[in-house]
């Protein structure tokens, strides 16, 4: 007789499938020939989901989680109430509550329904802020997360959800993976409305700016980050799911840039010369943050390869063409996307 795992081989659930990374992940897994169920509280905004089945469900409700995981072998848990730094620093209580409920209910449902493998999408926001004050930052290693001092609200919840995921592995034999994502960007992601992250926000501001004008930059622009192209991110998530590794693992790049450098890259791609107007009253998050990919390289013999400039060459034209439809994009019209293709 077939085991449960054999029976459900190739059947995968992606939660957060109406969101940025989840939607790309569904496309990626479909391209690998898997049967995919997507679940989200909303459908993808910019194009239809290629999922075999798409459930619109609120995953704060236990019964909805149980219905969502029924009959699948693997769960990619990407659903979360989240957004850019402005959003996560304005909604501590509601965001933490929503994510606590989603994560606790998804784990219990996966245990009850006999799921084989469970991947939790955590974040670099779990790392202690006391390690991220200096601009000359060292890459963050997985073991640096505890003793803890994570991002208020969003980061604390992620850190506890990592622990909870680990306990379900230890106590119930769930095959868990915990992945710490570092600033993912690319086409088909939020670029306005407050949930957008820095690369999309900068692309939007540059696209809407007249040649020679100024754009607003939050902080003094000298804060640093590394950014991971979404095509690499979904590839990495699937590789980690296939690995035997159960401990937290970084998924990002080590290409550290200042926000000023990010702006210059986007201006170069856009063919615009713009001034920067700094607003230091806006939230900026930690001063400096980079990934240390040593463990990722060791476990997977792989790491994200897309250079930031190449990823932005795909992201900027997409955002510009979206804004062009509403009449707010300013010339010049960007050339066709030049960067590497998003895995399909």
Tell me which residues are annotated as active site.
Answer: 154
Subset of 107-146 contacting ligand NAD (CB under 6 A)? 121, 123
**What whole-number distance in Å separates Cα of residue 3 and Cα of residue 148?**
40
Q: How far is CA 186 from CA 63, 64, 83, 190, in A?
A: 33, 30, 15, 9
CB of 189 to ligand NAD, least distance (A): 7
Among 9, 10, 52, 58, contact with ligand NAD (rule: CB under 6 A): 58
CB of 194 to ligand NAD, least distance (A): 11
Residue 60 near ligand NAD by CB under 6 A: yes
Among 16, 38, 186, 304, contact with ligand NAD (rule: CB under 6 A): 16
Residue 93 near ligand NAD by CB under 6 A: no
Nearer to ligand NAD, 123 or 269 (CB): 123
CB of 175 to ligand NAD, least distance (A): 19
Subset of 68-87 contacting ligand NAD (CB under 6 A)? 78-82
Please identify the residue of the shown chain whose CB is closest to the bound ligand NAD.
Answer: 19
Residue 187 near ligand NAD by CB under 6 A: no
What is the C-alpha radius of gyration for the chain, rounded to an integer number of angstroms? 20
Among 12, 19, 51, 285, contact with ligand NAD (rule: CB under 6 A): 19
Q: How far is CA 160 from CA 39, 266, 314, in A?
A: 23, 36, 35
Handedness of CA 312, 180, 130, 91 (dihedral sign): positive
Closest residue by Cα to residue 233 from 126, 144, 137, 119:
119
DSSP per-residue letters across 65-94 = HHHHHTT-SEEEE------SHHHHTT-HHH
CB of 123 to ligand NAD, least distance (A): 3
Closest residue by Cα to residue 320 from 276, 328, 231:
328
Which span (58-66, 87-95, 129-137, 320-328) binds ligand NAD, by CB under 6 A? 58-66
User: Do 283 and 201 form a contact (C-beta atoms < 8 A)?
Assistant: no
Cβ atoms < 10 Å from Cβ of 134 = 10
Which span (36-44, 201-209, 278-286, 324-332) binds ligand NAD, by CB under 6 A? 36-44
**What whole-number distance in Å separates Cα of residue 288 and Cα of residue 284?**
10
Residues binding ligand NAD (CB under 6 A): 16, 18-22, 40-42, 58-60, 78-82, 98, 102, 121, 123, 181, 183-184, 197
């Amino acid at each position: 007789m077939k085991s449960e795992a054999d029976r459900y081989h190739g059947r995968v659930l992606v939660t957060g499938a109406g969101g940025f990374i989840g939607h790309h992940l569904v496309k990626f897994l479909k391209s690998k020939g898997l049967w995919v169920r997507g679940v989200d509280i909303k459908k993808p905004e910019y194009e239809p989901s290629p999922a075999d089945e798409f459930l619109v469900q609120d995953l704060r409700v236990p019964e909805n989680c149980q219905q969502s995981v029924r009959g699948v072998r693997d769960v990619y848990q990407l659903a979360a109430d989240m957004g850019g730094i402005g959003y996560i620093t304005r909604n501590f209580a509601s965001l933490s509550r929503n994510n606590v409920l989603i994560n606790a209910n998804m784990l219990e449902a996966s245990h009850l329904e006999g799921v084989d493998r469970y991947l939790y999408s955590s974040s670099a926001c779990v790392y202690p802020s006391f390690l991220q004050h200096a601009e000359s930052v060292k890459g963050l290693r997985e073991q640096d997360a505890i003793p803890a001092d994570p991002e208020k609200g969003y980061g604390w919840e992620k850190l506890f959800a990592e622990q909870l995921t680990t306990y379900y592995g230890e106590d119930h034999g769930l095959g868990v993976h915990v992945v710490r994502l570092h600033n993912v960007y690319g086409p088909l992601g939020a670029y306005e409305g407050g949930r957008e992250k820095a690369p999309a926000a900068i692309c939007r501001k540059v696209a809407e700016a007249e040649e020679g004008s100024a754009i607003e930059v939050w902080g003094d622009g000298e804060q640093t980050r590394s950014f991971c192209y979404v095509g690499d991110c979904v590839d990495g998530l699937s590789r980690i799911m296939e690995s035997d590794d159960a401990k937290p693992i970084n998924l990002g790049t080590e290409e550290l840039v200042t926000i000023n450098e990010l702006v210059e890259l986007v201006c170069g791609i856009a063919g615009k010369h713009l001034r920067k107007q700094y607003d230091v009253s806006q939230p900026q998050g930690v001063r400096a943050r980079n990934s240390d990919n040593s463990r990722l390289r060791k476990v997977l013999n792989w790491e994200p390869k897309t250079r930031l400039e190449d990823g932005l060459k795909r992201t900027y034209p997409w955002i510009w063409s979206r804004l062009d439809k509403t009449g707010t994009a300013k010339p010049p019209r960007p050339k066709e996307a030049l960067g590497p293709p998003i895995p399909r």
